[in-house]
Amino acid sequence: MMRAAALGLAGLCAFAFAGAAGLVPPVFAGSGGEKAVAIPPSTVDVAPAKGDQVAVLAGGCFWGMEAVFEQVKGVKSVTSGYAGGARGTASYAQVSTERTGHAEAVRITFDPRQVSYATLLRIYFSVAHDPTQLNRQTPDVGPSYRSAIFPQNPGQARVARAYIDQLDKSGAYGKPVATTVEQGAFYPAEAEHQDFARRNPAHPYIVRWDKPKVAALRAAYPRLVR
């Protein structure tokens, strides 16, 4: 599948409806399907802390990641943006060249008294994206769509690495987890990308790829959703 920029179309996530061209590949349960992937909870978690905490996760187009996590109880806000590259290249136009090192990501501000970091990771791995895809999330292709976690402290890094190892050993996906644990600052995306799914519920990309993720979240984790 060629990404939008290669086809001369506008938008990082804008190869909006691959089905219209008959190009829809097999659907991963957490990336367009209606069921979450059954995975165990993490055996480790970040120690409880006072005050709001922040998680930064990359898993393909940030529209869908944002749409999923803004439904979760205890999440205060979700911001779409870019992580892993330099401040000077953190823009829509530059990231779409696939030469900046940035990944499309979301910054999640959450109350750890209501939802833990490991719980957010379970949603991330089972619903929000397919962690076995390397440098892509169907139908988007390129390193900016990679599966990556950007820990905000050593505790988060420890939990992220341990959970990836646990999931690989569980065989839940039938193939290795491609998610990387990386360092790098987060830079908010342009205003038009914020709350995109909520503001554009009938957009073909949202209907095809992101609404099913939200449905999967609600079906798999009803106690975690608002």
Q: Enter the tokens of residue 52.
A: 């709001």
* Known catalytic residue at 61: yes
CA 98/CA 84 separation, integer angstroms: 12
Residue type at position 84: G
How would DSSP label each residue in the chain? ---TGGGT-S-TT--TTGGGGT---PPPTTTTSSS----PPPS--PPP-SS-EEEEEEES-HHHHHHHHTTBTTEEEEEEEEESS-GGG-SHHHHTTT-S--EEEEEEEE-TTTS-HHHHHHHIIIII--TT-SSEETTEESGGG-EEEE-SSHHHHHHHHHHHHHHHHHTSSSS----EE----EEEPPGGGTTHHHH-TT-HHIIIIIHHHHHHHHHH-GGGB-
Residue of 29, 46, 61, 67 marked active site: 61
CB 193 within 8 A of CB 80: yes
Residues carrying an active site annotation: 61
